[in-house]
Each structure stands twice: as structure tokens, then as C-alpha cells.
Chains A and B, each alone.
Chain A
């Protein structure tokens, strides 16, 4: 089951560049939350702070608190533990090119030393079913490489890989921006199904997509969160002028 995320006074830097400034935000459990805003506004940095991927860049720095469920992720735990509980799907599909489909899905468990074949088989099947890829790949799970799939299939493979470690939160950084409309709608259907089990945070440039999949939407601009509210309110009656300007296409 998903858990809520509570962000308090989050600030992040890349070198001298203050990319996130005083972000405060409560992301509800078992819902999809969309983050929108122009390129470079800090959305991606924000989601990377939620699983401590931000700090993998040596010049990056972060302050503030992020609570995921009961866990203060910057005080109570190691980055690797956080990342097992908070899965991530990236903008471009990034399956491990030398691994089979099966090994791609099982990678998170295998690389953490989990080796029970029967349980792995079960988890791989369940994850691929959850990511709506099972029917397309079940016949060549171990024969084909993850890189041999189409772009849309690769992205669903990456989602399956993230689900296999049984996370509580799923972060998606523009998961459909490199995909065609058909694959995009598959991913959106998937988000719709998955949000009953996981807390989903999705960064997107596609405002219709935000409107379709998310209950809550946050608007970022120049490293600050301008507005966070129900998706319906953001798109029909935003309280901030800048939000309105953005969603009506006057800038960004």
C-alpha cells in the first residue's frame, strides 16, 4: 500500500544554482499527483529529492525534511533503503541492455542478493502483469533482451522493474514524453490502475495528461511551488495568476 509524503522547507542546489526554494507540500497516499511547470523549473529535481537520487550528483546539495510514511528520509535511513521503498521511472526508457526481460524485472531483487527462483518467477510475472506487458513478452522472457523491445514496451518494462521491489511510492519523471500517443495512453491507463496500490508522483509537460491521471496537481515555476491543489481546481479556476498564464499557454 502507498503512503503519504510530507515535504517541509525543502531546498536544493546544483553547485551555486538554487534549484528548489522552500517547497512545502503534502502528497496524499494512494493517489496520483501531477507536477507541471516549464522546463528547468525544478520539477525533476523535486522528485529526485524524494528518493535521494538528487545527491548522486556530486555538486548537488539538499536541506529540509521529507517524510515518507513515518520515515524521515534524510535523517532516519540510508539512500539505498529509501530507493527500495520509492521506485522511479525515468523520462527515457532505460532497461539494462545486456539483460533479458526476466532479468531486467528481477534486477532490483537479484542485485540486492535475493535469489529464491520460485519467488522471483512469481514476482516477475506479477510485476509484468501489473505493468500490462505480460501478454506481449511472456513467451520470450529469458530469450529476448530488454533493449530489443519497442520504446513503449521498454517503458512498461521499466515500470515493471520498479514495481518488482514492491515500493510504496512510484515517482515518474515524464514517463511518456519519449513515446508515441498509443504507448502514452497505455502508460496513462497503467497509472490509473496502479494508483490504488501505490502513491504516484508524475512529472509531466503534457497538461491533458495531468488532467487525465492525477487527482492533485502542483505548479512549479523558477524553483518555487506556486500552487498545489486539486487537479480540477488548477485547470479550471487557479488561484494564482501565474498558474493561469501557464495553463492557458501564455508562457512556458
Chain B
């Protein structure tokens, strides 16, 4: 065994010991020259082609702008129309008083605003833990098992169940003589509706956490359950929170499931075992009433509902976002 160094040079580019190799290099050079010439013709030769390219570029930009406008326009239109129709009916009484008897002018929806808050609080208490738990199971512990596939399928089906059916089902299962129409049954109906959205977004977000981050935790001797809890879920938390907010905003406007469960209430009531009022229910009731003043109040309630949803979502995002350090990706 002698020095091994000379072998290293063999086969390196620019070092052509034999004739065929040199020929091949020459041919390669000619080919490259031809190609660059052709490219020059392409660039300067055809004016039509360059106009065509600019044209398609402008067209694509215009289409993108148009799509953006089409996406944003309905949102702005709805919001604008709600302000136009509802803002004038908003006053102090609207937020502090309960509805006046039929036909009387004035009154407010304080009970419906608080009722919606109670119902959504209950729904979140039910929907968020169960939903996140399901998502964690799907992404971390049950991956690939039959049970996980069944759970995922069920969640997707549940997502497609019409809300009125959900209302009727909860009416049949929960509303009994012992527990009549109540805030609890309304909360259960809304909570069940939250579960599939929360579960599926949690799963998706957890699966997006890079494998390397999980490995890092395991390689430190951290037990798997602890790693899932403190590393994976924490890393995915912004996305999971977004999912919860999405589900929250969706059920906040649901009317149908509440008709048979929370039922509505024209008086002050925050008792969990009694019928309770909610903004969507009041909007529905007032919108089909024969009185102009109630129509106006329905518009105002719709505006308040939208603003409250936006406010709640923004608040949660702000509070949750503050915990994340600067510079984290």
C-alpha cells in the first residue's frame, strides 16, 4: 500500500488524460454555445413573444386582484349593511334592558347578550377539551389504528350533520321532564357542534409539528406523554387556538340547535337549568315579528353579535399570542 493521493485527482473535471475524453469535452462546449445563441434569438428576435408574456403577466395579476376583491367584498358588504341598518338602533337601553312586551317600543337585549355568553361558555367547556383530546389522540397516540380512523370518520360525519338535526337530537336525549329546556342543553348542543372542527384542526396542526422537534424531546429522555403535552401541543398551540376560535365563531351564530334546547327567554335568566335567551334566537324571533321596532332591534342585534364574535376572537388571539416569544417561527 503506497500513497493513495494521486487516485483522488482521477475523474475530476478539467483533467482529461485521454483523447476520447477531450473530444467529449469539445462537443459539450459546442453544444453549450449553440444553446446560448438560441437563447439570444429567443430574447431579442420575437417581439410578439415578449408582448404575449407581458400580456399574460398582467392578466394573471388582474385575476388575482379580482379574486381578492371577490373574497373581501361580501364580508365588507355584510358588515357595512349591518352598520347601516343596525347602528341607529343601538343605544344604552339596548345593552341594559330586557325586551319590552310585544308591540311596545324600546327595551333591549341585555338578557340575550348575557345568554349568548353563557351558552358559548358552556359550549366551549364541552367542545374545546373533548375536541383537543380527540385531535391529540388522532395525531399522537392512535395514528394508523382502526379506532383512529373510526374517530376521524365520525368527526367528519358529525361536521356534516345539519344543525337543526343536532338540536332535535339533543332535545330527544337531554331535554326531559326532569331537565326541561335549559341553558345546559343548549350548551351541550353547541358544544357537540364544536367538537369536529376542533378535533380536525388540532390533528392537522399537531401533524405539522416537525418530526425533529419530537425526536429532540425523546432523545432527552422525556417520556412520550410528557413530550406530547409540553412540546408538541405547545408548539402547535397557535394553530389549535385558531381552530377553537373558528369553531366558537361558527356556533356563536347558530340558531337552529337552540330552538329545541335553550328555547329563549324574554326575562332575565342566567340559571343553567332554565330556558335562556340568546342573540341568534332573538334575531330570528324579532325578524319575523310584525313590528318595525323589533325589525330594527333585530338588525342591531345582528351587528352586536358580529362585533362580539370578532372581539372575542381577537381577544383570545391577543392573549394567546403574548405568551409566544419574539423571533419564534
Contacts and interface: CB of A to CB of B under 8 A. Distances in A.
B326 A144 contact: yes
A53 B219 contact: yes
A111 B215 contact: no
A124 B20 CA distance: 63
A117 interface: no
Interface stretch (A14-22, A60-68, A92-100, A197-205): A92-100
Contacts of B219: 51, 53, 83, 87-88, 90, 162
Interface in B201-243: 210, 212-213, 215-223, 226-227, 230-231, 234-235, 237
Interface in A23-75: 51, 53, 56, 58
A53 B324 CA distance: 30
Interface string B122-157: 000000000000000000000010000000000000
A97 B235 contact: yes
Contact of A144 (B213, B231, B327): B327
B212 A162 contact: no
Contacts of B36: none
A94 B212 CA distance: 6
Given A107-B217, A112-B222, A250 B7 contact: yes
A237 B1 contact: yes
A158 interface: yes
A81 interface: yes
B329 A97 contact: yes
B169 to A, nearest CB: 38
B325 interface: yes
Nearest to B143: A58
A145 B237 contact: no
A112 B237 contact: no
Interface in B92-111: none
Contacts of A58: 144
A92 B220 contact: no
Contacts of A83: 218-221
Given A53-B215, A108-B221, A248 B8 contact: yes
Contacts of A53: 215, 218-219
A120 interface: no
A107 B220 contact: yes
Number of contact residues on A: which range applies?
35 or more
A96 B220 contact: no
A156 B277 CA distance: 59
Contacts of A216: none
A56 B218 contact: yes
Nearest to B214: A56
B328 interface: yes
B72 interface: no
Interface string B1-25: 1001001100000000000000000
B327 A248 contact: no
A98 B217 contact: no
Interface residues of B, number: 30
Contacts of B235: 96-98
A80 interface: yes
B212 A111 contact: no
Contact of A249 (B8, B222, B230): B8
Contact of A98 (B4, B7, B215, B237): B237
Nearest to A82: B221
Contacts of B234: 98
Contacts of A248: 4, 7-8
A56 B212 CA distance: 12
Interface string A223-252: 000000000000001100000100111100
A145 B221 contact: no
A165 B219 CA distance: 11
A96 B326 contact: no
Contacts of B218: 53, 56, 83
A177 interface: no
B4 to A, nearest CB: 5
Interface string A86-122: 0110101011111110000001100110000000000
A107 B215 CA distance: 13
B210 A98 contact: no
A84 interface: yes
A7 interface: no
Candidate in B212, B219, B220, B328 with the most chain A CB atoms within 10 angstroms: B219
A97 B212 contact: no
B324 A98 contact: yes
Contacts of A147: 327-329
29 contacts: A53-B215, A53-B218, A56-B218, A80-B221, A83-B221, A87-B219, A90-B212, A90-B216, A94-B213, A94-B216, A96-B217, A96-B231, A96-B235, A97-B213, A97-B235, A97-B328, A98-B235, A99-B325, A107-B217, A107-B220, A107-B222, A108-B220, A108-B221, A111-B230, A112-B226, A144-B325, A145-B326, A145-B328, A148-B327
Given A98-B235, A250-B7, 9 more contacts: A51-B219, A80-B222, A107-B220, A107-B231, A111-B217, A112-B221, A144-B326, A144-B327, A244-B4
Interface of A: 51, 53, 56, 58, 80-85, 87-88, 90, 92, 94-100, 107-108, 111-112, 143-145, 147-148, 158, 161-162, 165, 237-238, 244, 247-250
